[in-house]
Structure 1
């Protein structure tokens, strides 16, 4: 719901998301996201937060069922709270204990005001450097959603998180290869800026998270990962033990991609050899290290969809949230999608309806699914030549 038109006498607007109503500064301008704004609220991220509430609700229920945890014993850290809307919603709608942190005193002051207005007994606001707080305390669930890159905070977040780590990255240009040198510096990985750059960014981020958690003898299981508009978002379950960390690192590897013929090759490992020459004779480009494993857990996504459908949650963006999670759930576990329109431009044909085309690939014995990345993207294990043949049928 958009902010109300009339500000309060003390200069705030009342905003409602889900079952939570909060106050945000009246001068807030969502069209100008900048770190210089005293307390920033972005209504464009409401669907992200709706999914966050559903994911957290499902995960908390799993903790209760598998480990016998009471809600009151599960602590959630919203490490970059800004207006506090994410953490306030988790406290109010999921019912677990939430620590809302921001380094700006004016943000913490507003969060405390909202805690009082909502009447929350399970939320506390603190004003600290996020890395200091993460290094000092452990939380069952850690959520980092900073302005820009999460890279400087991944080490401390990986150390702090006991059961679940949520990460948002809005620095898609470095992640997706548009700002190559910046991406290399921040994530210690080489991205590629091509037609599947959105998935490239998601896998670069996951690879970085996996390498950071491994340092603390922790592995990860991606429960849900998606690239949406200007950001990428990851929910990763934390798996404890050196053995789980070693298993996780087996999902890290490299991609060799040929811009001329669209051929791809992936190889797991942190020290691999990949020929720079493609079978077509052109030079391939190498990306990585990055995540080559699944982007989501299908059963967990099914539970999130059920959570969105069962009426326990009141969400303004339920339908687009459900559509996104379902698309992620049904997506094939194949690294990197193809773009139908790119092939059609090369073949000089009009793009056919995508579902009948994918059905032809499936009839030929290949895996073929749509993806959440775009309406023209698909994943398949079919060779490039076979993709082109089926497009021409």
Structure 2
């Protein structure tokens, strides 16, 4: 049963106005009949902009008509995600949830926003639906891990696959055995654990799509607070699948000196002894070692964010711009860890990075944290520049 009207809360995001059960607004749980998570508004803002940009690409390059592009919101809950896509991009959206009470409320919100022609709500098991039907764009944003649904999503998605994962503890190595079970990958829980989680997820997506002779091109990927989010363009054909698999590999990381070594391939040799300090290294993988984003796509998303009426516009733009400007290097460093080792106060990060660039190295900030940076400079050079 849907809560009585006096227990509804009106929510306005972007151009979309919905009703959600008031009691589920503050702390969403898996057991809630219908939940709405206000903490994910920026995620949804970026999703609307990214979807809009990708839809325009389909229209221009493949001659699609907007209303014939089908988008699946596989875990709709309150419906806010799919309803926003329908209302703010104009494409056809299927909103699915396994809970009848959620679907009933979604249908009310469809009518509330005059979307009866472009949006439809159904009550189905997500895996069954994904294996049964193809969608131009598939968005899976479950409560927790997307792992049980990646195979079906990879089979269903024709042009774009969006995946959100909130099970960051398994992805990032804090719950190691759970991460291994869910993603068939060994993660590391260290200073760059957030990027580790993102690359574990991308590696899992790449392996799932490859089974269907599909490759992926990450258009935008980010790790934000309690979740990671991926937008991956689907590339068809065995050759594209093979090229995608070439971006999967392993990492050897030394806890003693911080050195890293990456090697692509699903069967590789990495010496357990660190070549720098000769102590034991830890091996992680398989993970995605390729790019996390496409710069032109990020530019277009920022322009779209700027155009749209959004509550989280500036935060969303800042995140996407930072993602765009990150170096295409796997795994960041944390400035504060170096400074703790050197027993010095952390200097302003931008002048420090400029010193690395002046010395001929790549050096950029990252979106993962305010103290994180990516560089191809070796650890001894990093320490030298911090001491200057």
- Cα distance in 1 for residues equivalent to 2:49 and 2:28: 25
Q: Which residue of 2 aligns with 1:254?
A: 250
Counterpart CA distance in 2 for 1:160 and 1:113 is 27
Which of 286, 298, 303 is equivalent to 1:301?
Answer: 298
> In structure 1, what is the equivalent of residue 72 of structure 2?
77
| Aligned partner of 1:46 among 37, 41, 45 | 41
The size of the alignment, in residue pairs, is 384
Shift of 1:118: 1.0
Distance 1:8 1:187 in 2: 41
Establish whether residue 105 from structure 1 lines up as the match of residue 100 from structure 2: yes
**Residue 383 in 1 paired to residue 373 in 2?**
no
**Match of residue 139 from structure 1:** 135
Following the alignment from structure 2 to structure 1, what is the Cα–Cα distance between the partners of residues 256 and 199? 23
- Measured against aligned partners, the alpha-carbon deviations of 1:206-262 in whole angstroms (never above 9, x if no partner) come to 000000000000000000000000000000000000000000000000000000000
| Distance in 2 of aligned mates of 1:318 and 1:94 | 17
Per the alignment, residue 3 of structure 1 pairs with none
Provide TM-score, normalisation by structure 2: 0.98
The answer for the alignment partner of 2:221 in structure 1 is 225
3-state SS, counterpart of residue 359 of structure 1? helix
CA distance in 1 between counterparts of 2:193 and 2:22 reads: 36
Deviation by residue 1:186-209 (Cα, 9 ceiling, x = unmatched): 000000000000000000000000
The correspondence of residues 110-259 of structure 1 with structure 2, limited to 5 A, is 110-120=105-115, 121-259=117-255
Partner of 2:271: 275
* 1:357 counterpart (334, 340, 352): 352
5 Å-filtered alignment, 1:321-340, equals 321-340=316-335
Q: CA deviation at 1:29?
A: 3.6
Residue of structure 2 equivalent to 1:289: 286
1:315 maps to which of 307, 310, 313: 310
Unpaired segments ≥5 residues, structure 1: 1-6
Q: Does 1:372 pair with 2:367?
A: yes
TM-score (norm: length of structure 1): 0.97
For structure 2, the 5+ residue unaligned runs are none
What CA distance in whole angstroms lies between the structure 1 residues aligned with 2:21 and 2:5? 12
Whole-Å separation in 2 of the counterparts to 1:33 and 1:345 = 38
Match of 2:55 in 1: 60
Deviations 1:130-153 (A, max 9, x none): 000000000000000001100000
Q: Equivalents in 1 of 2:181, 2:210: separation in Å?
A: 20
Q: Tell me how far apart the structure 1 counterparts of residues 5 and 110 of structure 2 sit (CA, whole Å).
A: 19
- Cα distance in 2 for partners of 1:314, 1:99 equals 24
Query: Secondary structure of 1:27's partner?
Result: helix
Does structure 1 retain, via aligned residues, the 8 Å contact 2:25–2:38?
no
Within 2, Cα distance between the matches of 1:330 and 1:216? 32
| In structure 1, distance between residues paired with 2:194 and 2:5 | 44
Alpha-carbon distance in structure 2 between the residues aligned to 1:15 and 1:361: 47
Deviation at 1:287, TM superposition (A): 0.1
How far residue 8 of structure 1 moved from its aligned partner, in angstroms, is 7.7
